Structure 1
Amino acid sequence: MSTLKPIGSRVLQMLLVLWTVVTILFLMFRLMPGNPMAAYIDPNFTLEQQEILMASFGLDKPLWQQYLIYIGNLLQGNLGESFTYRKPVADIIFPLLPNTLILTFTSLIVAYAFGILAGAYLAWKRGNWVEQAAIPAVLTTRAMPEFWLGMVLLAVFSFWLGWFPAGGTRTAGESYDGYFALYTSRDFLAHLALPALTLAIYSQGLPLLLMRSNMLDVMKEDFVTMARIKGLSSWTVVVRHAARNALLPIMTSFAIAVGYQLQGNVVVETVFSWPGLGRELVRAVSASDYPLAQGAFLLIAVVVILMNMIADLLYALLDPRVGHA
C-alpha cells in the first residue's frame, strides 16, 4: 500500500500536467495568425461555400465549444482529421512514432555508453593533459547548434566522402516486408547513422560530465579508501567500487533525456529529411494544420511526461534514501 500511494500521486500529477499541455496546445494554435483554411478556400468560392467548409471542420463554433469537442474526442482516442491530408491524425502520426523513437534511443544509447566510460576515465585520470583537453572539447560539442552540427556531418560524410545517404530512411526503390525487415536492414542503418551521430555528439556531454562529477565525489568515500587499503588494483577500485555507485544519477537522467531528446529531433529530422514526428510537426505548423500539429505535439508531450515520471519513480526505487513525499 505504501508503494501504491506515491505511484498514484505521481499518476495524478502526470494527468494534471497532461491536461494543462492539452489546453495550452488547443489555445496556442487557434491564437496563431493565419487562416487554416487558406489552402482549401478557392478565390472563386462564395461566402456561403467558405462557411460550409469552415463548418465541416467545426471552426464556425465558439472557442469554448471547440475546446469541449476537442477534449471529448481526445477521451475517445480521436485526435481529429488533418486539414492537409484529409485523413485521421492518428493514421499519420502513429506510423511515424517508431522512426522517432529508434532515432532517439539509438543516439542516447551511444551518447550514454561513451559518456559513462569517458567520464569515469577522466575522473580516474584527473589533472592530466587528457582531462584538460577533453573538458573544453565536451563543452564545445554541447554548445554547437544541432542543425549546424548535422549540416557539417552531412557535408563531410555524405556529400564529400559519400559514405552515408543524405536523408530519409531507405534508398528510393527499396521495399521491405514489414517494419522488422526495414529496421534491421543495412540500408536503414546507413540512413540512421548520421542523424543518430549528430544527436549522440550533442548529448554525450551531459552523461560524461555527470559521471565525472559523481566519480570524483564517490572516490572520496570511505569504502573506496578501504578498497585501496586492501591492495586492490586501481582499475578494480574505479570500475567495481566507484563507478557502480556513481551510476545512479546517470540511470535516472537517461529517462529524462529521452523526453528532452524528442525536442532536438525536430531540428535533426528536418535537416536529414527523417520521416518522424519532428519533421511532420514542422510541416503541420507551417501549414496551420491545427489537428495534425496538436496531435504531434501531444504525442511528444505524453512521452516527455511519462519518461519524467519513470525517472522519478526509478530514482526512488534504486535509492531507498529518497523519500516518496
Structure 2
Amino acid sequence: MGFYVARRTAVGLLMLVALSVLIFVLLRLAPGDPVDAYINPSAPLSLDELAALRERLGLNDPLPLQYFGWAAAAISGDFGYSIQSAGQPVLPLVLSRVGPTVILMASGLAIAIVVGLAAGTLSAVRRNSAMDVGLSVGSFLAISSPPFVTALVGLYVFSVQLRWAPSGGMLTPGVPFSVADLLAHLILPAFLLSLTHGALIMRYMRSSMLEVLNQDYVRTARAKGVREFWVIVKHAARNALLPVVTLIGSSIGMAIGGAIFLESVFNWPGMGLLLVNAVKARDYPVIMCATLIIGAFVIAVNLLTDLVYAAIDPRVKVG
C-alpha cells in the first residue's frame, strides 16, 4: 500500500508539472502582450519605460527560461504578486478563497450523494413503478440541462420571483456572522450544484442495484428469511456501491467546473470567482497558482477514490 501511494504521488507530481507547463505556454500564446496587464490605461508608459518593465518581468528571456524562473520561485512558495489586487502576494490570496469553495462543493456533493444513492436504491427496488418513472425522468432532465441554464433559472425562480433565498454573496453585508445566515446563502447554490451530480449518481446506483438484486446471494438471503430492509441495505447496497464510488470520485473533479460557474452567478467569494476575475484582468500569477491548486486537489481526490474502492472491495489489490 505504501509503495502504491508513493508511486501515485510521484505520478501526480509529474502531472502537476505537465499542467503548469501547459498553462504557462497557453498564457504566453494568448493574444496580446502580457505587459499590458501591468499598465494603467490612464497613464501610458513611454517606450523606454515599457522596455524596462519587460526586462524587469523577464519577458525578454526565452520561454523555457521564463518557465524555469517561475517554477523555481513557485517551489519555494513564491507565486508572485497579483496584478488586480494591488500587488498582494498570490499564494495567500488564493488560499483565502479555498475555504468558501470547499464549503460550496462539500455541501453540493453531500446533497448529491445522499439523494442520489437513496433515489437510485428506491428506483431499483420499485422498478417500473410510478416512482421509478418519475425519478428517471427527473434525472434525465437534470443531466441534460446545461449548468449555466440551471444556475440562471434557479436564481431567477428561487431568488427573484419566490424570494426564498438570497440572490448572491456568502454572507449578508453589515450583519454579524451567523451559521443561519451562511446556510441561507449556501442552500440555493449548493442545491443547484448537486442536481447534475445527484442525477448521475442516481442513474448509476439504479443500474448497479438492478444487477445486484438478481444475484444468487440476494435470493439466498431472502430464502433464509432475512428481512427485506436488511437484504437491501446489507447485502445489495454495499456491493452496488462499488461502481458508484468511482463516479463519486470523478464527480468531485467535475464539481469544480460547476462551482466556478455558480460562484460567478451567485458572486460566491471562492476560487472560481477569483479565477474568472483573474482571466478577465489577465492576472497571470493568480491564474497559474489557482490552476495548480485545483489540479493538486483533483489528483489527491483520485488517489483517495482508489484507496476507498480498495477498502470497500477486498478483491481489489493495490501495490
- Matching residue of 2:53: 53
Alignment of 1:1-325 (within 5 A): 3-39=1-37, 40-42=39-41, 44-85=44-85, 86-176=87-177, 185-324=179-318
How far the C-alpha of 1:303 sits from its partner, in A, is: 0.6
| CA displacement, residues 33-79 of structure 1 (integer Å, 9 cap, x when unaligned) | 12333241556421111122233333232211111111101211222
| CA displacement, residues 196-225 of structure 1 (integer Å, 9 cap, x when unaligned) | 011011210121111111111111222211
Provide the rounded CA distance (Å) in 2 between the counterparts of 1:257 and 1:134: 20
Q: Percent identity?
A: 36
Provide the rounded CA distance (Å) in 1 between the counterparts of 2:311 and 2:218: 24
Q: Give the secondary-structure state (helix, strand or coil) at the position aligned to 2:97.
A: helix
The amino acid that maps onto 1:202 is: T
Are the counterparts in 1 of residues 119 and 135 from structure 2 also a CA contact under 8 Å? no
How far the C-alpha of 1:252 sits from its partner, in A, is: 4.0
| CA displacement, residues 3-54 of structure 1 (integer Å, 9 cap, x when unaligned) | 2222221111111111111111111111111233324155642111112223
The amino acid that maps onto 1:139 is: F
Provide the rounded CA distance (Å) in 2 between the counterparts of 1:175 and 1:29: 41
Q: Give the secondary-structure state (helix, strand or coil) at the position aligned to 1:37.
A: helix
Are the counterparts in 2 of residues 269 and 279 from structure 1 also a CA contact under 8 Å? yes
Structure 2's unaligned 5+ residue stretches are none
Provide the rounded CA distance (Å) in 1 between the counterparts of 2:130 and 2:176: 50
Distance of aligned partners of 1:314 and 1:236 in 2 relative to their CA distance in 1, 3 Å threshold = closer
How far the C-alpha of 1:133 sits from its partner, in A, is: 2.8
Provide the rounded CA distance (Å) in 1 between the counterparts of 2:50 and 2:193: 45
Deviates more, 1:128-137 or 1:305-314: 128-137
How far the C-alpha of 1:139 sits from its partner, in A, is: 1.2
Q: When the two structures are superposed, what TM-score results if normalisation uses the length of structure 2?
A: 0.94
Are the counterparts in 2 of residues 35 and 288 from structure 1 also a CA contact under 8 Å? no
Are the counterparts in 2 of residues 115 and 205 from structure 1 also a CA contact under 8 Å? yes
| CA displacement, residues 172-200 of structure 1 (integer Å, 9 cap, x when unaligned) | 21244xxxxx5xx2111111111101101
| CA displacement, residues 244-274 of structure 1 (integer Å, 9 cap, x when unaligned) | 2222333343233222211211111111111
RMSD value over aligned CA atoms? 1.7
Structure 1's unaligned 5+ residue stretches are 177-181
The amino acid that maps onto 2:160 is: F
Task: Return structure 1 stretches of 4+ with deviation > 3 angstroms.
Answer: 41-44
